[in-house]
Amino acid sequence: MAVFDLLLCALILLVAVAAIVGKGLFRAVVFFVIYGVLLSLAWVRLDAPDVALAEVAIGAGLTGVLLLGAVGRLARSDADEPAEPIDWPVAVAASVVAALLVGAAIKITPGTGLEPEVRAVLTRTGVENPVTAILMNLRAWDTLLESMVLITAVIGLWPLAQGGDWMEPAGPAHHAQPGGVLSGFGRLLPPVALLVGVYLLWAGASQPGGAFQGGTVLAAAGVLCVMAGVVRAPGMAAPAWRLALVAGPAVFAAFGVAGLAWGGFLTFPEAWAKGAILTIEMALTLSIAVVLALLVLGPPQAGEAR
Amino acid sequence: MIALATLLILPIFGALAVVAVPGQAARVAAAVAVLSGGALAVLIMAVAKGGSVQILPGGWGAPLGIALEADGLAVAFMAMTVAVTAAAIALAARTPAIGTPFWALVMLTWSALNVIYVSRDLFNMYVGLELLTLAAVALVATGGTSALAPALRYLFFALTGSLLYLAGVALIYAAHGVLDMAHLAEAPLQATDGVALALMTAGLLVKTAVFPFHAWLPPAHAAAPPPASALLSALVPKASFVILMRLWFDAVPDAATRSLLLTLAILGALAVAHGGVLALRQDRLKQIVAYSTVAQIGYLMLVFPLAGGGGAAQPWAAGAWSGAIFHALAHGLAKAAMFLCAGIWIMAAGSDRLDDLRGLARALPMTAMAFGVAAVTLMGLPPSGGFTAKYLMMTSAFASGQVVLAIVLLAGGLLAAGYLYRPMEALFARVVPDHRPVSRLLQAVPLLLALLAFAMGLFSDAVYAFLQTGRPGAAEGGL
Amino acid sequence: MTPFAVTGALLVALGLYGLIAGRALLRRIIAFNVMGSGVFLMLGALGWHEGRADPVPQALIITGIVVALSGSALAVGLVVALARATGRQHLRDDVG
């Protein structure tokens, strides 16, 4: 296996170099997506299936779609621009950082970290998957803030919509050929994706998965349906979409405040922890799905209908 | 504890409410400001009476959970944030072309600031920093098409800074197995901590816009709408500064080396000089005030050499530590007052070019007075809060035998007098300005902020005593 | 595991280079993601100990991945808006 690991590492580095200094923006994005897939293999090798799922779905998948969409919207001439000349002063500085970091990475002997402590309290957290336990209970404050970071990105895109106010459906207008592959796929996919998304959310309590991975699958299906022209993209004009956007963090924060009555901020009593976490995760999954779909589609671009 | 939880959660609910009900955005913001003011008053009394207030979300406690602690420093910064944000909200409510996103982003910026002030967990601070970065960059982008390039440059600098910081945090966790500062302070230093701390410090310097990582700040702060600029200049760089202070004074008080202190002293001094000289050469008020921020941030870096210097007991370190916090607070209030003045003058005169501001003091005397009082604080003249800050830092510079740093402080004051003289000269020019009227109530908003900065000097004893609540040991023993 | 930790370290430096030296804005966004995932790989690999993975870094990394996507999305939005408004896809030309 050591040979496989070394080969994987070498491949990851090669693909990363191609993505950063290679020729052409479109190719760079393609290399970046390959990079994400390879990286998720590395996470499997490091016994971190939750991270592998998140990396392949969010790191490679959604970020890839986001970047590909951007390449499409930018001028065509830039997509095959020549490789950039090497900036030597920056290269030297980066090499120093590389030497320091590699030195540190070799010097550190991996310890157990907080793994024994997490294991010791796991039964009191309400979930069996330690990663979900950390995300939804031990470090729930981080996760609540993280869901706010996602919303911030959507609000940040809001003034970038044409006319400065986001009231149209998100993204460029899409018209798939009726009866074409994409349109048929777009009709078939939603029920399947809904199933997978809900499964991931449910499984997260004891197995790899959770609100973020589940939400990503739903978002991906939603984006595909919009691109296939099966459904209209969400917009800020509809109160329902705005409520879906804030439902997750709002429910999360409300539980946080309710905790004050039960003994502390963001505290879930042991007997209720499982129910509380599942409720929060369901609301979060919904919000994450809407947020991610809006982020990937981007603000409305009226002049860009294809 | 409930007061602290309220302060943390209110702006979060505020942001969500603005998105859910965009039509009521200004009202939601006002409600959050009023309620936060109340919670803040309760918290100030609790901390003054009973010492630092702690929250352990989930009840787990460090190192497994995240520890939040409101000490004198955190509460003082939260108070400055309430004052500045409330004032910015008041101005924004009267500024045309302020849309829904602005209100949500102000709430999000505010949440992130409070998160960072009270956090004691290195990774939680990272999440707070990213929330702050995205909200702040998006606030710049509300400035319209001309703000896009400054916003992007800001974003790239800030993202680089965050990742450098996070790389350091990763090494700290790998070497120590903890993210909590109190646990870190008790752990023996590891061989890799030098690299980790260097990365974290570099990242935080980028985020604080310390010379030579300041290039993003003036264009971004000048391009944003004035109420946003007030938040961006007065508050946002202070958050990463607070982390920097907590890192070196609380988490690793024994790790500071001579070369680190010297580097920060040099960068601070260069920032004071560079920011001051460039501020002298601007023709737009917002640019002058933004470059002034670059210079004023330079002073903040001097706390590290001033609190250092070798030897066991360093009685001057407490003065340097308190002086830097005084400076951060007084600068925040005064700088916000200046940007709000600029906003009002843009409403009245249609531009912030010095030529267009000529004679405005006659038409809008309260704003001119606000600007004058804020300028006194920035120059460090008595009896303002800026003076107390300078006095404390000067005293420790002489006590520790670092006369060069005293000269930097003096020179910075002279430069400030120079670059603030030009707008004052324009304001008080003997011409009758052509302007639109502005309500007196609105004019009073920046004046209140400037007077607060001034009052910090008048009541410096009380403020000083409050800041000492939960002061780290290293603020006494030196770095 | 050391090879992955070293790979992570190299990715951080590589991403840092692209983030600072890159011209095309989209490429700098890619570099930001490479640098971020390098940090995550270091964190995760250094938390792997004899077949047992510390769950804390894994949770932090998942949070980090989501935060990175948020940053990328805002950056892409700004880049596209800038290109539409001015036709520019670089930042180098104006004051630096």
pLDDT the model gives residue C95: 38
Same domain (yes/no): A165, A256:
yes
Into how many domains does chain A fold?
2
List, for residues B205-253, the tens digit of each pLDDT value.
999 999 999 999 999 999 999 999 999 999 999 999 999 999 999 999 8
The answer to the question of residue B309 being in a domain is yes
Of residues B133, B149, B163, nearest to C39 (C-beta): B163
Same domain (yes/no): A119, A82:
no
Same domain (yes/no): A139, A176:
yes
Distances (CA, A) of A276 to A67, A136, A259, B354: 36, 10, 10, 58
pLDDT the model gives residue C88: 79
At C6, which CATH number? Answer: 1.10.287.3510
Same domain (yes/no): A187, A225:
yes
Domain C-terminal end among A94, A110, A126: A110
pTM of the model as a whole: 0.96
pLDDT the model gives residue B307: 85
Give me the tens of pLDDT residue by residue for chain A, a chain 306 residues long.
689 999 999 999 999 999 999 888 999 999 999 999 999 999 999 999 999 999 999 989 899 999 998 998 886 555 456 667 888 999 999 999 999 999 999 999 877 789 999 999 999 999 999 999 999 999 999 999 999 999 999 999 988 887 667 777 787 766 666 666 666 766 777 778 788 888 888 887 788 878 888 899 899 888 888 877 777 788 777 888 899 999 999 999 999 999 998 889 999 998 889 999 999 999 999 999 999 999 988 887 755 433
Distance from CA of B404 to the nearest CA of A (A): 30
pLDDT at B336 over 50: yes
Instruction: List the single range of A153-162, B121-130, B227-236, B408-417 with lowest mean pLDDT.
Output: A153-162
pLDDT at C89 over 50: yes
The answer to the question of residue C96 being in a domain is no
DSSP secondary structure letter of residue B211: T
Q: Is A179 exposed, middle or buried (0-12, 13-18, 19+ CB in 10 A)?
A: exposed
pLDDT the model gives residue A298: 85
The answer to the question of residue B344 being in a domain is yes
Same domain (yes/no): A201, A306:
yes
Tokens of C72: 């990328």
Whether A182 and chain C come into contact, CB under 8 Å, resolves to no
Domain C-terminal end among A53, A86, A110: A110
Q: Do residues B447 and B373 make contact, with C-beta atoms less than 8 angstroms apart? A: yes
Q: How far apart are CA A106 and CA B408, in angstroms?
A: 42
**How many residue pairs from chains A and B have C-beta atoms closer than 8 A?**
155
CB contacts under 8 A, A 241-280 vs C, are none
Distance from CA of C88 to the nearest CA of B (A): 9
List, for residues B70-82, the tens digit of each pLDDT value.
999 999 999 999 9
Into how many domains does chain C fold?
1
Q: How far apart are CA A33 and CA B295, in angstroms?
A: 43
Q: Do residues B136 and B154 make contact, with C-beta atoms less than 8 angstroms apart? A: yes
Same domain (yes/no): A33, A181:
no
Residue B252: phi and psi, rounded to 5, are -130, 65
Between CA B63 and CA B475, with CA B307 as vertex, the angle to 5 degrees is 45
Q: How far apart are CA B376 and CA B381, in angstroms?
A: 6
Residue B77: phi and psi, rounded to 5, are -70, -35
pLDDT at C72 over 70: yes
Give the containing element (helix H, strand E) for B55.
strand B53-55
Q: How far apart are CA A97 and CA B202, in angstroms?
A: 11
* Domain region containing A278: 114-306
Half-sphere exposure of A195 (CA within 13 A, CB side): 5
Same domain (yes/no): A155, A11:
no
Of residues C2, C46, C55, nearest to A131 (C-beta): C55
Would the CB atoms of A108 and B171 count as touching at under 8 Å?
yes
- The residue of chain A nearest to residue B66, with distances taken between CA atoms, is A139
Distances (CA, A) of B468 to A19, B305, B473, C54: 51, 20, 11, 38
Whether C53 and chain B come into contact, CB under 8 Å, resolves to no
* Domain region containing B433: 284-479
Same domain (yes/no): A11, A150:
no
Domain C-terminal end among A45, A77, A110: A110
The answer to the question of residue B32 being in a domain is no
Same domain (yes/no): A147, A78:
no
The answer to the question of residue B144 being in a domain is no
CB atoms within 10 A of CB B434: 12
Into how many domains does chain B fold?
1
* Domain region containing C61: 2-86
pLDDT the model gives residue A187: 72
Interface confidence: ipTM more than 0.90: yes
Whether C64 and chain B come into contact, CB under 8 Å, resolves to yes
The answer to the question of residue B25 being in a domain is no
pLDDT at B202 over 50: yes
